Structure 1
Amino acid sequence: MNLPQTEAELAEIVRDADTPFSVIGGGTRGVAVKGQPLSSVKLSGVTLYEPGAMTVVAQAGTPVAEIEALLATENQRLAFEPMDHRVLLGTKGEPTIGGVMSANVSGPRRISVGAARDFLLGVRYVDGRGRIIKNGGRVMKNVTGYDLVKLMAGAHGTLGVLSEVSFKVLPRPETQSTLVLHGLDDTSAVVALAKALGSPFEVSAAAHNPAVGETLLRVEGFDASVKYRTEQLKKLLGGEITIEEGRTGRWSEWRDVSEFAGVEGDVWRVSCKPSDGPALVAKSGGQSALYDWAGGLIWLRTAAGYDLRAALGEYDGHATLVRGNSHPRFEPEAAGVARITAALRARFDPRSVLNTGLMG
């Protein structure tokens, strides 16, 4: 295992490589390719925290838990609510901020505030030649030239190894409530979620669990505002609704797909148009389904080895195999996209030493 302790050492390791690397952060997502393991976990520590500017700069190997604990002292948080893959996958290790940003890991709040990449302000990384590259800064601004910050978020270490990230955080809300709608089928649930999100009542998460017949809406903010908005949503949606005040654990369990933890089978993450969700679930042949992002994200548990992509056919979206190894993890790219991807990798990693083959 290559464990560089400085950015300069990381650059030297990559520059002197004669074989490919399997680039990982804390190793919690269980993703690895053939090659020497190269981890950023020793590049750790928050180097700047400005609560007034709601800005953090941290080395890539800094544990997410350490950052969250620091933010809590100022009543702030990571707004994009990153998933902890250890729950679903049964992996060990420690989630790192570099791993989160590299994979663009985002939870239920993405539907209201955006993804991890939307909070990323700047990056430092080592490319496939072993060069140290810096892009972005510590404030949001219009981009001129190449926006490498956004490009690195979701590249899964195939274009460069992150060494440092700067990102925006948000205040922690005073309180939250969850509306639980009971007894809706999948189609009715997606319609209700869309109606709630289209209202002026600022829903921060919208999910549906067919197995228990619960449709969930989260409202966050100041206490008086939360009470008002939950009551208005209750009037808007009608039907059998209960309101749960507080209980943040429900959404942590949802974020981490706890329902599929320890249960046999492959787990797929399907991104699609919310209105397409119920039909895709019906076609999937899956044993269990969970709807997040008002149906725009579907978690599907299938029999091990089941070819979900073949079952779904063509649709506006893609399926990622999160747990299982009988199929490629990522959806095959369309020919035009594949050409662009290949050109980018040739520029960023001309020797093909960074997570080769991970994304196709």
Structure 2
Amino acid sequence: MPETFIPAGTTDVVDVIRWAAAEGKPLDLHGRRSKAGFGRPAQSEYALDLGRLAGVLDYEPAELIVTLRPGTPLADLEKQLAASNQMLAFEPPDLGPLWGQPAGRGTLGGAIGCNLSGPRRFKAGAMRDHLLGFTAVSGRGEIFKAGGKVVKNVTGYDLPKLVCGAFGTLVALTEVTVKVLPAPEKTRTVLVFGLDDEQAVRALAAAAASPNEVSGLAHLPAGIAARSGVGYVAQAGRAVTALRLEGTDISVTARCAALRDLLQSHGALEELHSMNSAWLWRELRDAACFVLPQERVLWRLSVAPTAGPAVTAVIAQGVPGAEWFYDWAGGLIWLSLPPVADAHAAIVRGAVENHGGHATLIRADAATRAAVPVFEPQPLALMALTARVKAGFDPMNILNPGRMVAGV
């Protein structure tokens, strides 16, 4: 186990990073380690535990912003926002159980570092669209601020977007400001039964193009539906296509009726209300159907929605036992495969790249994650740009080296 530094504040973070830079000692930055299995294995003999940098610093419900420490548990933040009937609209998932961690341990800093967003992403935007500003410490041990505390802010380079999805390789965050939105008064989910993948994607596309303002568009093949939050209404093992509506009671009721009229020719329909609806989308958000068995390889594919069925068909032909479901109207595919040493990377990436998408290896053993690129390999020009950005923030290469790319 690496020796761990546990700072109590920004000054402590500065001291540790300056020491590490001077001594050339790489640091494994982390919070509560709920996503330690995401990305390549750490290549550091020292760890910087930012989990104690937690707590809300300033919450202004009327201004729709909250400023807090990045180690704040998402569960605590969401509970505080719910008391004011507000929410994180990007719907951050709780993915810890996918790597065998307890539920509810994820932090806001982890969601930022991994740029995690849930089913509402296609409507509300990604995590990176909701981070307004931050205070951080660079790999030089310098404190700096970026962005601000207002929704519309012009500060030159959009650094908040840059740190989202950087997996702690650029800076150590010590304070962040995010945008929040009012929580919906009512939620309903329309279910369509028995569609194959291609039929489902067409139905989802029709709903997305309609004026009904859907906020969730997912499809679960029969096997996945049977063990999900809709299993009890899955009509004897049939596939389920789910479409979520949110808003005021009157609006949701009217839009739900219109959506049912639009979809009635596609198959048998059912509705989920309130608690049952929330349960289903929470399971989809967290990919709960793939928590077990832990030894199975898990991928997350991003493709054009209409290309999803073609991509999964190629993978299913090459990998017996493949399982998947679609989110974001078909643009996101959660893919579970039997374990092998190379995680079926050639088949998966070949199928995805033929349709202009990209693939991320979410779960595999450490040896596989060290040997197989976890993130989509970059073209040479983009790789060179990424290296220059890394050198600008962390010239001594001490912040999570190797977490995203081998040898970096």
Q: Could you state the TM-score of these two structures normalised by the residue count of structure 2?
A: 0.86
**Contact 1:15/1:130 (CA < 8 Å) preserved in 2?**
yes
Query: Of 324, 348, 353, which residue of structure 1 is paired with 2:393?
Result: 348
Q: Is the 8 A contact 1:59 1:164 kept in 2?
A: yes
In structure 2, the CA distance between the partners of 1:308 and 1:293, relative to structure 1 (3 Å rule), is farther
Give CA deviations for 1:76-101 in whole Å, capped at 9, x if unaligned: 11111111112322114821111111
Aligned-partner Cα distance in 1 for 2:96–2:387: 31
Partner residue, 2:133 = 122
Deviation at 1:203, TM superposition (A): 0.3
What is the match of residue 293 of structure 1? Answer: 328
Contact 1:102/1:162, CA 8 A, preserved across alignment: no
Alignment correspondent of 1:160: 171
* Structure holding more helix per residue: 2
- 1:88-115: CA deviations, max 9, x gaps? 2211482111111111110001011111
Contact kept, 8 Å, 1:284 with 1:308, in 2: the verdict is: no
Greater CA drift, 302-311 or 273-282: 302-311
Output aligned runs, 1:1-360, within 5 Å.
1-17=4-20, 18=23, 19-31=25-37, 32-35=41-44, 36-92=46-102, 94-211=105-222, 212=225, 213-238=239-264, 239-246=267-274, 247=276, 248-263=278-293, 264-285=295-316, 287-305=322-340, 306-312=342-348, 313=350, 314-315=353-354, 316-325=356-365, 326=368, 327-360=372-405
Q: Could you tell me how far apart the structure 2 residues matched to 1:20 and 1:301 are?
A: 33
The number of equivalent residue pairs is: 360
Say if 2:343 and 2:364, in contact at 8 Å, map to a contact too.
no
* Equivalent pair of 1:201/1:233 in contact (CA under 8 Å): yes
Where in structure 1 do 4 or more consecutive aligned residues deviate above 3 Å? 306-309
CA offsets per residue over residues 189-223 of structure 1, 9 Å max, x none?
A: 11111110111100001000113300000001111
Identical aligned residues as a percent: 44
Offset of 1:144 from its aligned partner? 4.1
Deviation at 1:289, TM superposition (A): 0.4
Unaligned 5+ runs, structure 2: 226-238
The one-character-per-residue Cα deviations of 1:306-349 (angstroms, maximum 9, x if unpaired) are 54431141231211111103123212111111011001001111
1:251-290 deviations in Å (ceiling 9; x for gaps) = 1111111111122410100111111111111111352001
Partner SS for 2:311: helix
* One-letter amino acid of the structure 1 residue matched with residue 287 of structure 2: V
Instruction: Flag structure 1 segments of 5+ consecutive residues without an equivalent.
Output: none
TM-score by length of 1: 0.97
Alpha carbons 1:30, 1:91 under 8 Å: kept: no
The residue aligned with 2:235 is none
Worse-superposed segment, 207-216 or 343-352: 207-216
SS in 1 for 2:5: coil
Q: Would the aligned equivalents of 1:98 and 1:164 in 2 still touch at CA under 8 Å?
A: no
Q: Check the 8 A contact 1:152/1:160 in 2, yes or no.
A: yes
